[in-house]
Structure 1
Amino acid sequence: MSRDEIPDTRQTLDANGTTYHYYSLPKAAEALGNIDRLPMTLKILLENQLRFSDADSVSREDLQALVDWQQQGSSDREIGYRPARVLMQDFTGVPGVVDLASMRAAVEALGEDPARINPLSPVDLVIDHSVMVDKFGNPSAFKDNVAIEMERNRERYEFLRWGQDAFDNFRVVPPGTGICHQVNLEYLGKTVWTKEEDGKIFAYPDTLVGTDSHTTMINGLGVLGWGVGGIEAEAAMLGQPVSMLIPEVVGFKLTGKLKEGITATDLVLTVTQMLRNRGVVGKFVEFYGDGLADLPLADRATIANMAPEYGATCGFFPVDEETLSYLRLTGRDDDVIALVEAYCKMQGLWREPGHEPIFSDTLHLDMSEVEASLAGPKRPQDRVALKDMKATFEKLMEEGDQGKQPHSEEKGKLFSEGGQTAVGVHDSYEHHDSQHVEYDGESFKLNPGAVVIAAITSCTNTSNPSVMMAAGLLARNALARGLKTKPWVKTSLAPGSKVVTEYLEAGGVSDDLDALGFNLVGYGCTTCIGNSGPLPPPIEKAVEDGDITVASVLSGNRNFEGRIHPLVKTNWLASPPLVVAYALAGNVRLDLSSEPLGEDKDGKPVYLKDIWPSQADIANAVEQVKTSMFRSEYAEVFEGDATWKALKVPQSKVYQWSEGSTYIQHPPFFEGMGRHPDPIEDVKDANILAILGDSVTTDHISPAGSIKPDSPAGRYLQERGIKPVDFNSYGSRRGNHEVMMRGTFANVRIQNEMLDGVVGGETRHVPTGEQMAIYDAAMKYQEKETPLVVVAGKEYGTGSSRDWAAKGTRLLGVRAVIAESYERIHRSNLIGMGVVPLQFPEGEDRKTLGLTGDETISIEGLDALTPGGKVKVTVNGDKGEKKLEALCRIDTANELEYYRHGGILHYVLRKMIGTA
């Protein structure tokens, strides 16, 4: 296919006195066909294909397939998509930079110039995942937590500073600045990106991939972006296209307005439930309808943020006047705003009233029907109306008391009105006696349902001034009525940017939040990613002694089991004002729609409705948010404080690894790597490392949260002189493969069906019959050079884009995963690490096969794989031999090439030195 057969669509436009060159979509339509009703997201993909159209990566058929998508609302064509930039956070960013450093070492070992390994696209890394809530409820909490963070993470931060200096196109936003998605929304994102080439300024849609699944938040600003695994993001920044099938696009029509007292959080929990029930995994969701005209951009960003929770690749909002207003509010340059308006209107990327694109499927929500809600106890899509919270928790307790677990159908009705259930994960909400506690000068009983963590946290809601101001106003009203936080509640406030602190102070509510214990604890993700820190020792002891089912309430987006705190079995997502309300109530076994939060100084009951701020009061408070706040806080966003600036930074092209470091180690991924890939060998007589159930998340697979002293990772650190108090979290040690591989499949809530009733990262070592940690068993298998497989149920790899879920799997010696279905990012990551994802044929699964874990599994045909092809799987066990044809979930030719090379980074490295 020659370049001449692709239409030349280059045009120019003027905005604010500057001439920009661009690839015209209307001009392309003249040659390819009408695109007026093509979804906005696919128009952006079409522009991307036009801009990179050449004989190697884009053909006219690729362009035509996007236009012809309108005929059926789907396509089976694979395209190579090149985002404008890459966004990282430090948990995923550190191993990303470790991989780049390791690639440089590998290139040097092959006798090539290591500087050839360098990002080709702009990369921003925001340090936001490391701060923990060690100190809380006092004015010095922020200062103390930052000091602890810097001390714990000095090695990692020195390494990132090295990367900032060593690599081109790589910027680091220092700790204590904000959450990457909120910084992206408020500062980094431009909606329309520009680049100078040959003296010309080219304009094109701002697009990105990020190493965090909530990268989708930027979709609220009309920027197409989504989360990918760290390894895939590294390939993108090294110039490789993101291989993808042209997706189905689900249209979500919004009409009406939210009622008085209903928040954006309530809206997003409703949207999440609706989309999960419809089934949008691997699809784009695009919001449309005249309800968008009255939907603030912060609310759009809240909905877009939770695309991973409703399962979509992204949740996109088109550009309109509200987009421009937000760009102005947040201090973007006039030139940027003028270009966004001119470009989007010229390209047909501007939302017009009444416009309804063609979609694969549609849903509709009248926002006036949304009611106050939470989600839990362990999945973000399991919405529970506020009025039903008490009954829901009582039902959980009842199931626990009866000593049985609800069936999938019952759970669906109880929690999500349908959908998959995590039957492969531990469920226990048993009723135990209350415990008497003496703490902080007070004496009280800790009861089942006690709220032990109340956290205003996460990018999802702290980017939204309306819900943040509502929380502050509710705190003010509560204090006026004499209410106070219950003594067993660990309270925290972790905004996504410093701007939030400014406007809470301007609104006069900071002191009120402080008075209820919601003091600033840090600018970072904190509780939402498991960095909730320890509970006060007397509270922890009471929970453990009584095995009490307690609760957390957080304004985050994730509440998977074992994520928030190992001792907290039920975790509830809620709006910031509801977080404050539950801190006052102290227990989730209340119906806050009808029962009092507490009593005032006169002994009269105070109800939630008595202190809930009016919409007018919230609107007045939001008026305090000014452009000057954004401009002042982001003026020196890359500078950092004195401690950051004083870090020692080694100056070298190739990183000098330290054997004594427990944070940064040279990973073995490229050991013995040659210039060309070795042939792929079939898997013969593999043992099963684990048999897992449905909805096993990357939180269950990947090391996350705290490190237990008696775990393999804990033992490793103690052997190197690290005391448990200084373990830090798994996330902070992602740059050390020795820690991470020991923590893979080590989640306290994971359940391996090879062991009856055992919860946690254990397995049976088949040759000896001995029960042991999954890591220890894997090492025994490696000693004998025995290959391994993992068997799983539906929706394997749900959740965050944790590349260590795949990296750890590979380092444990797992050659293949066989599951009933996969979620998008983890499937891609497995391939990126050289692990083949296979899917059971229809009608077969671990149960129909009667797998116990004692079987051996052989896989034939790996050397002759084709995208979406079949492979022969032979299962041998006591019941004889069973043969089946599994579907290979290597879906595209690019993915197959990555797998053939042993992983995506091996392929990129060989390509950069000219041998691939």
Structure 2
Amino acid sequence: DLDKVKDSFTRLFSKPVAENGFAKKPEELQRGYRTFDGKELKHGDVLIAAITSCTNTSNPGVLLAAGLLAKKAVEQGLTVKPHIKTSLAPGSRVVTEYLGKAGLLPYLEKLGFNLAAYGCTTCIGNSGPLAQPIEEAIVKNDLVCAAVLSGNRNFEARIHPNIRANFLASPPLVVAYALAGSVLVDFKTQALGKGKDGKDVYIGHIWPTHDEIAGLMKLAMDPATFRRLYSNLSESNPLWKKISAPAGQVYSWPKSTYIAEPPFFRDFSMAPGHPGNISGAKILGIFGDSVTTDHISPAGSIKPTSPAGIYLQEHDVAVADFNSYGARRGNHEVMMHGTFANVRIKNLMLPGTEGGFTFYKGEKLPIYDAAADGTPTVVFGGEEYGTGSSRDWAAKGTQLLGVKAVIARSFERIHRSNLVGMGVLPLQFTGTDSAQSLGLKGDETIDVVLPAEIAPQQDLALAIRRSDGSESRVAVRSRIDTPIEVDYYKHGGILPFVLRELMSSERPAKAKAA
């Protein structure tokens, strides 16, 4: 499918946003733009090329292939433009050991694929900033540039907030696209660049053969290397030993912007309350199709002007020390402030606006600020609401913001389950109904009446009161799907349910022992 990358980008370039396109004019595709330090950028330029991800870098075949391709490229005289951010972040130290023994690591390094870390980097949004002139040119000219990575995920704004086209590829293809410099290069018909002899070099000239890869595989299959590097983890990293830690069996929750005591058991009692009706709820957001868990709870960089960024600065954290949402997910305040704060999420209550904003009580506000007044809220979505990776914070953050129900055309399986697990009611439209067909604008008030006995997949009614005083009722289906999920919802979520179960079973055991 190498010939489809260029076609896909070209097709999406001018498609409307509603069809997952970039809504640009076709004639802009080949236009060049200058950074303030003189570099030329175009739409489709590769600005991030990352060999990353713990899963894909655990396959020695593709890592050796990347190294062999880099070796042949260097020998042919090919180079990577210096403004392309390249990195190598395998999940294991064994990878650099066998690449070094094979003599391939220096060639990767000559193309800019230096070791960045062992662990989560670009795949989780830890790509770091681009050079300032490039960032400024992207924002100023609304450039649609690309990242190519060997990671598992390429959700909007996850890889980098200003890189809008993100392609997943094998490690050797990551190197190849770094050499080509653009996803508009068709590898089947176009050269990657000029060799030192001035002739065109195509991907077939540097692609490694099966025998070349197989001849080096034995270097990656050395049990002694694994034992040497991982048999004694406590001694292998002296930095860990320097970190002081309190003694005892109960964590003392010292003040930290990384880890904080979560509020999920606050005011806990053994007797669960009965879930009440949802009355007078305001609409926090109306979203379209395929809203991902990364849209709901971003994992990447934290914008200084976002609610989470402001929170961190108010707690004396410098912007340079923000780290990422993924790194701070042990602090519920950061994650709650960041819920629905993805820079690419589109709230249809504010047409043409990107980012975590809503229209609330007559003004445009960050979604976190609108939710902070304590009024119960609901969220509307389209098809496949909550698609993508099964990030638990997408449900946790929704609950902490005070969202009582999510009403959508359909739900991704795991996110629906996670919503129930956090005590948030998932409701699904029936027939052809949707927020758009009902003409919802966001200034309506929503009621949901729950029956005295909650059961799986009940038909319920959504009462909609509009700003002109008119009212309507719409049939929806509860997506509490199983009897155990009914129990979770009645208990306010799976966490209090499990704790009550544990404490209930422990009491008779103690009494018997006494």
TM range (shorter): over 0.9
C-alpha distance in 1 between matches for 2:18 and 2:244: 56
Residue 237 of structure 2 is matched in structure 1 by: 641
Match of 2:379 among 778, 790, 802: 790
**Structure 2 unaligned residues grouped into runs of 5+:** 507-514
Match of 1:591 among 181, 186, 201: 186
Change in Cα spacing, 1:640 to 1:823, as seen in structure 2 (3 Å) is farther
Structure 1 residues 303-702: aligned runs within 5 Å: 385-397=1-13, 399=14, 405=16, 408=19, 427-429=22-24, 431=28, 433-437=31-35, 444-625=39-220, 626-637=222-233, 639-658=235-254, 660-702=255-297
- The TM-score with structure 1 as length reference comes to 0.53
Residue 908 of structure 1 is matched in structure 2 by: 498
Structure 1 residues 845-856: aligned runs within 5 Å: 845-856=434-445
Whether the 8 Å CA contact 1:692–1:751 is kept in 2: the answer is: yes
Residue 365 of structure 2 is matched in structure 1 by: 772
Residue 891 of structure 1 is matched in structure 2 by: 481
Letter in 2 for 1:394: T
- SS of match in other structure, 1:871: strand
Q: Deviations over 1:215-261 (max 9, x none)?
A: xxxxxxxxxxxxxxxxxxxxxxxxxxxxxxxxxxxxxxxxxxxxxxx
Q: Deviations over 1:854-896 (max 9, x none)?
A: 1111111254210122222211214832223321111111111
Q: How many residues align?
A: 501
Residue 430 of structure 2 is matched in structure 1 by: 841
Whether the 8 Å CA contact 2:124–2:326 is kept in 1: the answer is: no
Q: Deviations over 1:803-837 (max 9, x none)?
A: 11111111111111111111122111111111111
Q: CA shift at 1:639, angstroms? A: 4.8
Whether the 8 Å CA contact 1:558–1:573 is kept in 2: the answer is: yes
1:718 paired with 2:317, answer no
Letter in 1 for 2:242: A
Q: CA shift at 1:389, angstroms? A: 2.5
Q: Deviations over 1:175-201 (max 9, x none)?
A: xxxxxxxxxxxxxxxxxxxxxxxxxxx
Whether the 8 Å CA contact 1:435–1:542 is kept in 2: the answer is: yes
- SS of match in other structure, 1:623: helix
Whether the 8 Å CA contact 1:595–1:607 is kept in 2: the answer is: yes
Letter in 2 for 1:895: E
Q: Deviations over 1:357-379 (max 9, x none)?
A: xxxxxxxxxxxxxxxxxxxxxxx
Greater relative contact order: 1 or 2 (C-alpha under 8 angstroms, separation 6 or more)?
A: 1
C-alpha distance in 1 between matches for 2:401 and 2:244: 34
Change in Cα spacing, 1:881 to 1:892, as seen in structure 2 (3 Å) is same
Whether the 8 Å CA contact 2:349–2:442 is kept in 1: the answer is: yes
Q: CA shift at 1:657, angstroms? A: 2.3
Q: CA shift at 1:437, angstroms? A: 4.2
Whether the 8 Å CA contact 1:486–1:585 is kept in 2: the answer is: no
Residue 865 of structure 1 is matched in structure 2 by: 454
Whether the 8 Å CA contact 2:47–2:146 is kept in 1: the answer is: yes
C-alpha distance in 1 between matches for 2:162 and 2:229: 37
Q: CA shift at 1:628, angstroms? A: 2.3
Change in Cα spacing, 1:518 to 1:438, as seen in structure 2 (3 Å) is farther
Q: CA shift at 1:732, angstroms? A: 1.3
Whether the 8 Å CA contact 1:458–1:524 is kept in 2: the answer is: yes
Letter in 1 for 2:94: V
Whether the 8 Å CA contact 2:6–2:186 is kept in 1: the answer is: yes
Whether the 8 Å CA contact 2:465–2:471 is kept in 1: the answer is: yes
C-alpha distance in 2 between matches for 1:748 and 1:444: 26
Change in Cα spacing, 1:640 to 1:826, as seen in structure 2 (3 Å) is farther
C-alpha distance in 2 between matches for 1:790 and 1:863: 24
1:756 paired with 2:351, answer yes
- SS of match in other structure, 1:630: helix
Q: CA shift at 1:850, angstroms? A: 1.3
Q: CA shift at 1:799, angstroms? A: 1.3
C-alpha distance in 2 between matches for 1:817 and 1:862: 18
C-alpha distance in 1 between matches for 2:100 and 2:418: 43
Whether the 8 Å CA contact 2:80–2:181 is kept in 1: the answer is: yes
Change in Cα spacing, 1:485 to 1:862, as seen in structure 2 (3 Å) is farther
| Percent of aligned pairs with the same amino acid | 54
C-alpha distance in 2 between matches for 1:681 and 1:454: 51
Letter in 1 for 2:475: E
Letter in 1 for 2:400: L
1:819 paired with 2:404, answer no
1:802 paired with 2:391, answer yes
C-alpha distance in 1 between matches for 2:140 and 2:242: 45
Whether the 8 Å CA contact 1:818–1:839 is kept in 2: the answer is: yes
Q: CA shift at 1:538, angstroms? A: 2.4
Q: Deviations over 1:581-609 (max 9, x none)?
A: 11111111111111111111221111111
Q: CA shift at 1:560, angstroms? A: 1.2
C-alpha distance in 1 between matches for 2:451 and 2:114: 56
